[in-house]
Amino acid sequence: MTNPLEITDLVYKKNQKKIITDLDLTLKPGKIVALLGENGAGKTTLMRIISGVAKNYRGSVKVAGFTKEADRKGHLSFTDGLTGFANSTKISNIVKFYQILYQDFNLKQFEQLRDFMNLKPDLRLSELSKGMKEKLVIALTFSRRADLYLLDEPFSGIDAMARKKIIKSIILWKQEKSTILISDHFVNEIAAVLDEVVIIKNKTVCMQKSTEAIRADNQSVEEFYESFYQREEEE
């Protein structure tokens, strides 16, 4: 089966400054993977490159076996901050736009997710709090059928109770074979649903490990992440 993501020799510069260098990353089907790293490590940049929002990189980025940007976009689901919509746009109109733009957008699934998130369709973007916007982004992202879902710090504004509920349900919202790459700073909260951890440091992927292997070493995912940084500091 084709891997949802295969990146080789990725290099990305912005204003002459190297942001990502010599990065390789392969994700297998059906996995939930955390993308971890300190502020400024390059997590958002990597997601923007994979999704085709950031261009002019060197190296190969394949999504479900496809390298061309348009093909990649058809096989992955990523909601880039809703920045293209005016503040007065209603949720219902954003959904209409998604239905036109993406053939794989499933309205029924969206309505279920929207209700799960307690979002009223008549609300305008200007009426949404940070957490409500994040809930909308999650609902839109998971309303598409995709091989790869990208979630960039999806929960930073969502209250703890709702966050727990959403994390528990994530597994139900994806098809068995699709893969989720999710960046977050609170690894302990998502640890229970994770299959793998990928750490970005020094502008590249410096660690990829399954949570099964981490737990076999009698460590929690959080302990593993913390000890990784302690080890690096000692060296």
Ligand X SMILES: Nc1ncnc2c1ncn2[C@@H]1O[C@H](COP(=O)(O)OP(=O)(O)OP(=O)(O)O)[C@@H](O)[C@H]1O
Binding site for ligand X (CB under 6 A): 14-15, 19, 37, 39-45
Cβ contact 171:202 at 8 Å = no
CB of 15 to ligand X, least distance (A): 5
Which is closer to ligand X, CB of 145 or CB of 201? 201
Alpha helices in the chain (DSSP H): 43-51, 69-75, 91-101, 107-116, 130-141, 160-173, 187-190, 211-216, 221-234
CB of 47 to ligand X, least distance (A): 8
CB of 20 to ligand X, least distance (A): 8
Which is closer to ligand X, CB of 96 or CB of 185? 185
CB of 38 to ligand X, least distance (A): 7
Which is closer to ligand X, CB of 36 or CB of 94? 36
User: 82-103 burial, b for 16+ CB within 10 Å, e for fewer?
Assistant: eeeeeeeebbeebbeebeeebe
* Separation of alpha carbons 91 and 185, rounded Å: 28
Which is closer to ligand X, CB of 40 or CB of 84? 40
CB of 203 to ligand X, least distance (A): 8
Which among 92, 168, 103 is positioned nearest to 136, based on CA atoms?
Answer: 92
Q: How far from the centroid of its chain's Cα atoms is residue 197's Cα?
A: 13
Which among 229, 213, 200 is positioned nearest to 41, based on CA atoms?
Answer: 200
Which among 123, 86, 79 is positioned nearest to 101, based on CA atoms?
Answer: 79
Which is closer to ligand X, CB of 44 or CB of 89? 44
